[in-house]
């Protein structure tokens, strides 16, 4: 796999040693059990897979090289490079400006740009309309495009099924940058609709079966369908693709459910189902699959609590939190600074979208067992920072060098 030049500030000697050791021991990536960092009174179980993925490293590499190669030029990011506050703050400190926020609201008007400016397309990609607008100004968007290749894979898949006259159902968060981009690309080739979850999928199925009046569709799915979408015609042949960072199990369940609906509606068998339902297979990226599967492996270990590190608006990180909190107390933090003391932590509640302060953070026992993972846009250095902070609370803990030696 291609190697990227990730700034040293994001690297961790400890995490690198652990990942390299696990990779040597498990080249085929079949072992999803965690790595044990045994500090004595503190035991940290580190997920098999976590942290920067291919697409994130690619985006960071391109962004920092772009800054270095364009001294004196105005450099803009279309929106957040990735959903990590540290990386975005680092880019802003180097003079990069955001054109839009994560919801697509304009911060810097496109009208103020010139062809001399540099605009970096983030890892999530962008809509065809925005790309055209920038190209019209004379900005070479292709030159500084960091769109993740696994996102582009979804776009290609939707185009493939569009040529076979299927409508495209996108499983994703409607306001997420990636979903907006995928919707735009899919809608340029086929009738397209976004569903957020199983509840919306079940609602949609009632229009497929005719249980609900077609006229209600346009109200209940307002803002979710492509221009000219005909609910009577465009739900007769469908295929499902997804935002790459959604829960794999959710996407699979939605796809299976809609497949069954089409089978019953049109009396199809497994050999004839493709008359109405496209075989899109799985369009989740490898990192999303690996990180989620690694959390399932992590949760096989009995522990006192779990910590998930990453940006609060990161979809893939939020899903890791969702998996962990179903089993044990889970704390979602974006840096080691959120761990105030052994008894206090400030963590994010993604359900209410608010910070929460919890007391009694670490149990008064030894050893304390903690499960630890991070999202695909979280630097390894940040994970090491969390480990160091936790270790600092235990005066009799083994030093970091003794742990590092075990993985050298």
Domain 54-144 coded CATH 3.40.50.11270: yes
- Taking CA 29 as the corner, what is the angle to CA 15 and CA 382, rounded to the nearest 5 degrees? 20
What pLDDT sits at residue 255? 96
Quick one: how far is CA 163 from the chain centroid?
28
Domain spans, the chain: 8-53+286-406, 54-144, 160-275
The token pair that represents 402 in the structure block: 């003794």
What pLDDT sits at residue 408? 84
Enter the DSSP assignment of 107.
S
Is the whole model's pTM more than 0.85, yes or no?
Answer: yes
Catalytic residue among 131, 177, 178, 384: 178
Tell me the per-residue pLDDT of 288-337, one tens digit each, with 9 for 90 and over. 889 999 999 999 999 999 999 999 999 999 999 999 999 999 999 999 99
8-53+286-406 fold: Cobalt-precorrin-4 Transmethylase; domain 1 (3.40.1010)
Asked if residues 243 and 185 have their Cβ atoms less than 8 Å apart, the reply is no
Tell the residue number behind the tokens 């920092």, with chain if given.
Answer: 64
Tell me the per-residue pLDDT of 174-201, one tens digit each, with 9 for 90 and over. 999 999 999 999 999 999 999 999 999 9
Quick one: how far is CA 255 from the chain centroid?
19
* Cα gap 373→381, rounded to integer Å: 13
Tell me the per-residue pLDDT of 129-186, one tens digit each, with 9 for 90 and over. 999 999 999 998 999 999 999 999 999 999 999 999 999 999 999 999 999 999 999 9
Give the three-state DSSP class for 330. Answer: strand
Q: What are residue 355's DSSP bridge partners?
A: 348
What percent of the chain has a predicted confidence (pLDDT) above 90? 92
Exposure of 378 in the CB half-sphere (CA atoms within 13 A): 34
Tell me the per-residue pLDDT of 25-82, one tens digit each, with 9 for 90 and over. 999 989 999 999 999 999 999 999 999 999 999 999 999 999 999 999 999 999 998 8
What pLDDT sits at residue 1? 59
Tell the residue number behind the tokens 């000219």, with chain if given.
Answer: 228
pLDDT greater than 80 at residue 283: no
- When pLDDT is averaged across residues 102-131 and rounded to a whole number, the result is 95
Exposure of 281 in the CB half-sphere (CA atoms within 13 A): 6
* Cα gap 320→139, rounded to integer Å: 37
User: What does pLDDT average to over the chain?
Assistant: 95
* Cα gap 372→51, rounded to integer Å: 11
pLDDT greater than 80 at residue 2: no
- Predicted confidence band at 217 (pLDDT cuts at 50, 70, 90)? very high
For 173, other C-beta atoms within 10 Å of its C-beta total 17
Task: Name the phi and psi angles at 24, rounded to 5.
Answer: -65, -40
Whether 178 is catalytic: yes
The side-by-side arrangement of strands in the sheet containing 167-171 is 192-195, 167-171, 238-242
* Cα gap 341→123, rounded to integer Å: 35
């Amino acid at each position: 796999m291609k190697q990227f030049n990730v700034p040293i500030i994001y690297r961790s000697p400890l995490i690198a040693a652990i990942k390299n050791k696990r990779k040597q021991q498990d080249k085929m990536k079949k072992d999803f059990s965690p790595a044990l960092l045994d500090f004595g009174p503190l035991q940290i179980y580190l997920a098999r897979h976590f942290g920067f993925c291919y697409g994130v490293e690619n985006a960071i590499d391109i962004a920092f090289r772009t800054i270095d190669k364009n001294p004196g030029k105005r450099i803009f990011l279309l929106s957040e490079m990735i959903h990590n506050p540290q990386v975005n703050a680092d880019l802003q400190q180097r003079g990069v400006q955001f054109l839009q926020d994560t919801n697509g609201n304009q911060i810097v008007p496109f009208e103020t740009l010139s062809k001399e400016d540099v605009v970096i397309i983030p890892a999530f990609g962008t809509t065809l309309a925005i790309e055209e607008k920038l190209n019209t100004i004379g900005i070479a968007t292709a030159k500084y495009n960091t769109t993740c290749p696994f996102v582009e894979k979804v776009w290609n898949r939707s185009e493939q099924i569009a040529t076979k006259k299927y409508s495209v159902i996108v499983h994703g968060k409607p306001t997420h940058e990636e979903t907006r981009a995928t919707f735009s690309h899919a809608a340029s080739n086929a009738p397209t609709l976004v569903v957020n979850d199983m509840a919306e999928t079940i609602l949609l199925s009632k229009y497929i079966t005719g249980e609900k009046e077609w006229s209600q569709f346009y109200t209940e799915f307002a803002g979710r369908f492509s221009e000219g979408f005909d609910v009577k015609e465009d739900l007769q042949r469908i295929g499902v693709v997804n935002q790459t960072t959604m829960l794999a199990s959710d996407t699979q369940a939605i796809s299976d459910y809609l497949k069954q609906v089409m089978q019953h509606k049109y009396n199809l068998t497994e050999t004839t189902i493709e008359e109405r339902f496209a075989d899109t297979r799985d369009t989740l990226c490898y990192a999303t699959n690996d990180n989620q599967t690694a959390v399932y492996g992590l949760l096989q270990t009995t522990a006192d609590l779990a910590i998930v590190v990453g940006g609060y608006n990161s979809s893939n990180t939020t899903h890791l939190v969702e998996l962990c909190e179903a089993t044990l107390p889970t704390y979602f933090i974006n840096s080691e600074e959120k761990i105030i003391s052994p008894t206090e932590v400030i963590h994010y509640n993604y359900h209410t979208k608010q910070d929460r302060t919890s007391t009694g953070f670490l149990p008064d026992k030894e050893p304390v067992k903690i499960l630890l993972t991070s999202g695909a846009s979280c630097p390894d250095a940040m994970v090491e920072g969390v480990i160091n902070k936790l270790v600092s609370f235990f005066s009799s803990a083994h030093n970091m060098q003794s742990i590092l030696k075990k993985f050298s």
